[in-house]
């Protein structure tokens, strides 16, 4: 049996000194309180907003130095970054004053090979660690009276009241992402002391072992950066691309903005010479083509004035190649090969799963076409809500990526005027606190 509670704000936390100085004969080192966490299939540095300068313009040199990207070294040897886009991330978290929001966080993608940060988009995997971090850091808590009721409850059986232990109590944490203005509700399990209950038997592809499940629900995810799910006005289109290695070509794409803007490319529309490189996605010529498509997609999205400007922001829009599901594996609807910061992604961004999960249940997108390529897949998998009430449950959509299969649950919503929108998309993740202490940086 599970029990889910709302949360209340914790008591104000005293502001600590933002830095500690360690003096040597020749220099002064600075540090910040920090937690290193695995969140989903990413790893990142989790920081309190109050420990950073008030002006965000002063964050970049601190984060670049802490992660090891100040000099643009691709190895990030002189920092805690892991030399890949999935291990070079930062979450900056604070208690929120917004109505109906518990905590808010800003996501920072630190380039692993350039002295540059990107705050234009969100990271769903890192977001899955915000709820556990907030619980453990005292940014939210469960009221003592609810804590007691949560773990011991009373049941009547033949006029006899008995006390039973409720297993795995849960808490809903309402999160606001400042990058995209999106609301996320995370359902996490809680230990008896009110901290995040980490242990469990849930496994996700790309991560060894098991942990407790974290349900990450993106509310109203469409239009995260552009204000529309289909900013070009089309569910799919042919995008003309001036590529560096293949000349002028046209590829079939769906430009979808849900959780993050994604350029979804139909693998069958790629040049024959390029399509053979999908399996060996690290081929430099192939990666250059993918980047060229992404840049032209950015212009079509309205996120950049031209392809040159699009090349200056590598974090958004993101890009992924779609193919129909192969084999007879049950529960797999579509296959995807995603890219991040110019490199092949080892699995799939969580926001990519959310965006693709939403696109798969919208008629006319490339995702819809490929997911319904086989016979017997005509039944809708989405749930349905009317106003604030869910009237039909969602059937999971299975997305196969290089590390395994991820499932999304999409609920469409209808307002009083009959207009349909994506109400929410939920995905399950796990997270683990790896170490805590102070991270050093050079001023």
**Percent residues over pLDDT 70 in the chain:** 85
Residue 149 pLDDT > 50, yes or no?
no
Per-residue model confidence as pLDDT tens digits over 191-232: 988 999 999 999 999 899 999 999 999 999 999 999 999 999
d(CA 366, CA 264): 8
Compute the average pLDDT of residues 277-298.
87
Of the given ranges (79-88, 179-188, 356-365, 373-382), which has the lowest mean pLDDT? Answer: 373-382
Per CATH, the homologous superfamily of domain 28-218+432-439 is Diaminopimelate Epimerase; Chain A, domain 1 (3.10.310.10)
- Would you place residue 372 in the very low, low, confident or very high pLDDT band (cuts 50, 70, 90)? confident
Q: Where are the domains of the chain?
A: 28-218+432-439, 235-378
Per-residue model confidence as pLDDT tens digits over 419-443: 789 999 999 999 999 999 999 999 8
d(CA 114, CA 70): 8
**What torsion, rounded to 10 degrees, do the Cα atoms 380, 383, 386, 388 define?**
-170
Put residue 67 in one of left, alpha, beta given phi > 0 → left and psi -120 to 50 → alpha: alpha
**Alpha carbon 431 to chain centroid, angstroms:** 13
Q: In this structure, is the dihedral angle defined by the CA atoms of residues 90, 94, 97 and 103, taken in order, positive or negative? A: positive
User: Three-state SS for 192?
Assistant: coil
The pLDDT assigned to 164 comes to: 43
Burial, 241: exposed, middle or buried (Cβ in 10 Å; 0-12, 13-18, 19+)? Answer: buried
- Name the β-bridge partners of 186: 173, 216
| 28-218+432-439 shares its CATH topology with 235-378 | yes
Non-local (6+) Cβ contacts of 279 within 8 A are none
The pLDDT assigned to 272 comes to: 84
**Percent residues over pLDDT 90 in the chain:** 70
The pLDDT assigned to 111 comes to: 93
**What torsion, rounded to 10 degrees, do the Cα atoms 86, 87, 89, 92 define?**
120
Per-residue model confidence as pLDDT tens digits over 10-48: 555 555 555 555 555 556 789 999 999 999 999 999 999
Burial, 11: exposed, middle or buried (Cβ in 10 Å; 0-12, 13-18, 19+)? Answer: exposed
Listing DSSP states for 269-299 in one string gives: GS-HHHHTTSTTTT-HHHHHHHHHHHHHHHH
d(CA 91, CA 394): 30
- 336 and 330 Cβ atoms separated by less than 8 Å: no
Per-residue model confidence as pLDDT tens digits over 324-363: 998 766 789 999 999 998 899 989 999 999 999 999 999 9
d(CA 103, CA 106): 10
Compute the average pLDDT of residues 136-163.
54
d(CA 196, CA 137): 10
Longest dimension (CA), the chain: 80
Residue 157 pLDDT > 60, yes or no?
no
Non-local (6+) Cβ contacts of 156 within 8 A are none
More confident position, 389 or 53: 53
The pLDDT assigned to 390 comes to: 83
CATH (residue range 235-378): 3.10.310.10
Do strands 383-386 and 343-344 pair parallel, antiparallel, or not at all (unpaired)?
unpaired
Of the given ranges (159-168, 253-262, 263-272, 324-333), which has the lowest mean pLDDT? Answer: 159-168
User: Three-state SS for 126?
Assistant: helix
Question: Which tokens is 251 given?
Answer: 């590829």
Burial, 399: exposed, middle or buried (Cβ in 10 Å; 0-12, 13-18, 19+)? Answer: buried
Do strands 28-39 and 22-23 pair parallel, antiparallel, or not at all (unpaired)?
antiparallel
Residue 375 pLDDT > 60, yes or no?
no
- Would you place residue 236 in the very low, low, confident or very high pLDDT band (cuts 50, 70, 90)? very high
Compute the average pLDDT of residues 174-186.
96
Residue 297 pLDDT > 80, yes or no?
yes
The pLDDT assigned to 154 comes to: 37
Question: Which tokens is 46 given?
Answer: 């989790």
Question: Which tokens is 187 given?
Answer: 């359902």
Give the number of other Cβ atoms within 10 Å of residue 204's Cβ.
23
**Alpha carbon 405 to chain centroid, angstroms:** 16
The pLDDT assigned to 10 comes to: 59
Residue 100 pLDDT > 80, yes or no?
yes
Residue 54 pLDDT > 70, yes or no?
yes
User: Three-state SS for 307?
Assistant: helix
d(CA 359, CA 362): 5
Per-residue CA distances from 222 to 256, 257, 351, 420 (Å): 8, 6, 11, 12
State if pTM tops 0.75. yes
The pLDDT assigned to 3 comes to: 65
Give the number of other Cβ atoms within 10 Å of residue 313's Cβ.
16
The pLDDT assigned to 302 comes to: 96
Non-local (6+) Cβ contacts of 216 within 8 A are 124, 127, 128, 184, 186, 350, 426, 427, 428, 429
Per-residue model confidence as pLDDT tens digits over 125-145: 999 999 999 999 999 977 654
Non-local (6+) Cβ contacts of 36 within 8 A are 43, 44, 45, 46, 80, 433, 434, 435, 436
Question: Which tokens is 441 given?
Answer: 């940086």
341-369: burial string, b at 16+ Cβ within 10 Å, e else: bbbbbbbbbbbbbbbbbbbbbbeebbbbb
- How big is the CA angle at 323 (ends 322 and 327), to the nearest 5 degrees? 145
Tokens 């007879």 — which residue?
328
């Amino acid at each position: 049996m599970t029990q889910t509670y709302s949360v209340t704000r914790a008591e104000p936390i005293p502001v600590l000194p933002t830095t500690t100085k360690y003096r040597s004969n020749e220099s002064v080192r600075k540090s910040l309180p920090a937690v290193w966490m695995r969140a989903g299939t990413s790893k990142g540095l989790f920081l309190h907003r109050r420990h950073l300068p008030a002006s965000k313009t002063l964050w970049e040199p601190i984060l670049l130095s802490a992660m090891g990207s100040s000099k643009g070294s691709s190895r990030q040897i002189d920092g805690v970054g892991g030399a890949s886009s999935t291990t070079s991330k930062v979450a900056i978290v604070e208690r929120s004053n917004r109505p109906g929001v518990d905590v808010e966080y800003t996501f920072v993608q630190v380039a692993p090979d350039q002295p540059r940060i990107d705050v234009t988009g969100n990271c769903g995997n890192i977001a899955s660690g915000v709820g556990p971090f907030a619980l453990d850091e005292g940014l939210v808590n469960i009221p003592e009276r609810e804590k007691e009721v949560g773990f011991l409850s009373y049941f009547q059986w033949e006029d006899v009241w008995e006390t039973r232990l409720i297993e795995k109590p849960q808490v809903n944490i309402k999160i606001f992402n400042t990058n995209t203005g999106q609301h996320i509700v995370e359902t996490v399990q809680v230990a008896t002391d009110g901290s995040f209950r980490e242990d469990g038997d849930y496994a996700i592809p790309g991560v060894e072992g098991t942990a407790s499940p974290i349900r990450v629900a993106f509310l109203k995810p469409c239009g995260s950066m552009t204000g529309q799910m289909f900013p070009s006005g089309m569910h799919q289109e042919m995008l003309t691309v001036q590529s560096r290695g293949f000349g002028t070509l046209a590829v079939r794409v769906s430009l979808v903005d849900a959780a993050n803007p994604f350029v979804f490319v139909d693998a069958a529309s790629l040049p024959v010479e390029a399509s053979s490189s999908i399996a060996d996605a690290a081929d430099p010529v192939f990666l250059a083509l993918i980047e060229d498509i992404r840049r032209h997609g950015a212009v079509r999205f309205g996120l950049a004035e031209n392809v040159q400007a699009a090349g200056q922001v590598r974090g958004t829009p993101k890009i992924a190649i779609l193919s129909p599901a192969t084999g007879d594996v049950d529960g797999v609807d579509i296959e995807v090969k995603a890219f991040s910061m110019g490199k092949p992604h080892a699995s799939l961004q969580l926001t990519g799963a959310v965006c693709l999960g939403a696109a798969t249940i919208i008629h006319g997108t490339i995702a819809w076409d490929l997911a319904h390529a086989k016979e017997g897949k005509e039944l809708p998998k989405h749930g349905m809500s009317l106003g604030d009430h869910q009237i039909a449950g969602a059937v999971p959509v299975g997305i196969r990526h290089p590390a395994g299969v991820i499932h999304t649950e999409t609920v469409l919503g209808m307002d009083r005027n009959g207009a349909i929108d994506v109400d929410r998309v939920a995905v399950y993740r796990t997270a683990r606190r790896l170490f805590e202490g102070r991270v050093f940086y050079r001023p």
